[in-house]
Amino acid sequence: MIGLGTIVNAAAIVVGGMLGIAAKRFLKERFQETITKAIGFAVIVLGLGSTLSEMLTVNIQGTGDQIYGSLDTQGVIMMIVSLVGGAFLGELINLDGWFERFGAWLRDKTGNSGDSEFINAFVTSSLTVCVGAMAILGSIQDGISGNHETLFAKALLDLLIIMMMAASLGKGCVFSALPVLVFQGLITILARFIAPVMTETAISNLSMVGNVLILCVGVNLVSPKTIRVANVLPAIVLAVGFALV
């Protein structure tokens, strides 16, 4: 069944969020704050490690006993231009404002008007589960061949991540399932048109820039509202576009 991967992914986020909310009731505020910071540092390390794995290459030279290696970098200019250009476009459109307004609408419609952390929880968790190569590549695989393996693996990861986030940030995390349904569902529907564009270089560019955005999400968990991450999202499109030039 095409689309099953995204449905399972969204369901896993809801389950993880509900488990986290249940755990939150038994945690004092200082525990919640420390857990949030711990998750933030974990996300930073995850994003940094994944970015470096795409950026660094091992260059081995010499023969026999004279073999030596060095680390080279790749894609640095692409990453910088994509991030700067994406930030400019995102600020121009103000994607972060759209995210926050939708979060405020959700908060009011779901009877959570008194939850001061709802919007931050929704935006932060949504960016965490939507940004990254697994969401895009898994949705393309789902749409073309009905292969759900990547999205099933992502569903498990998202369940754990959202469970921990909800335990510290609250109910807003549960509703990150909605952007996942829309974003991944749309890619699944358009998969046959998107697939030819996703060359090996495009995937590498997407992974590098996407992982930088994940790192930024981690920074915001440690120090709230440091970066308007949603306003840098166009960088992903620019990164893929670089592969076509």
With beta carbons less than 8 A apart as the criterion, state whether 39 and 168 touch. Answer: yes
User: So what's the pLDDT on residue 72?
Assistant: 79
Half-sphere exposure (CA, 13 Å, Cβ side) for 197? 19
Mean pLDDT computed over 211-233: 90
pLDDT over 80 (residue 58): no
Q: What is the pLDDT at residue 133?
A: 78
* Residue of 190, 180, 52, 203 whose CA lies nearest to 127: 180
Tokens representing 123?
């935006």
- Report whether 169 contacts 36 (CB < 8 A): yes
Q: What is the band of 114 on the pLDDT scale with cuts at 50, 70, 90? A: confident
Band of residue 63 on the pLDDT scale cut at 50, 70, 90: low
pLDDT of residue 203: 87
Mean pLDDT (the chain, rounded)? 89
CB neighbours of 141 closer than 8 A, spacing ≥ 6?
A: 5, 147, 148, 149, 150, 151, 191
Cα 199 to Cα 176: distance, rounded to the nearest angstrom: 29
The residue that leads in pLDDT, 172 or 68, is 172
Query: What is the band of 64 on the pLDDT scale with cuts at 50, 70, 90?
Result: low
E strand residue ranges, 168-228: none
The residue ranges of DSSP E strands in the chain, in sequence order, are 56-61, 68-73
CA dihedral over 214, 160, 105, 169, signed as positive or negative: negative
On the question of pLDDT at 47 being above 80, the answer is yes
- CA 90/CA 230 separation, integer angstroms: 7
Judge whether residue 242 has pLDDT over 70: yes
Average pLDDT over residues 163-184: 93
pLDDT of 89 over the 70 cut: yes
Percent of the chain with pLDDT over 70: 96
The amino acid present at 32, given as its one-letter code, is Q
pTM of the predicted model, to two decimals? 0.84
- Cα separation, 43 vs 48, whole angstroms: 8
Distance of CA 90 to the CA centre of its chain: 16
50-64, 82-96, 134-148, 201-215: lowest mean pLDDT where?
50-64
The DSSP symbol for 64 reads G
Which two tokens mark 116?
Answer: 């001061």
- What residues form DSSP beta bridges with 60? 69
* pLDDT (tens digit per residue) in 5-40: 999 999 999 999 999 999 888 888 888 888 889 988
Mean pLDDT of 98-110: 93
% of the chain beyond a pLDDT of 90: 51
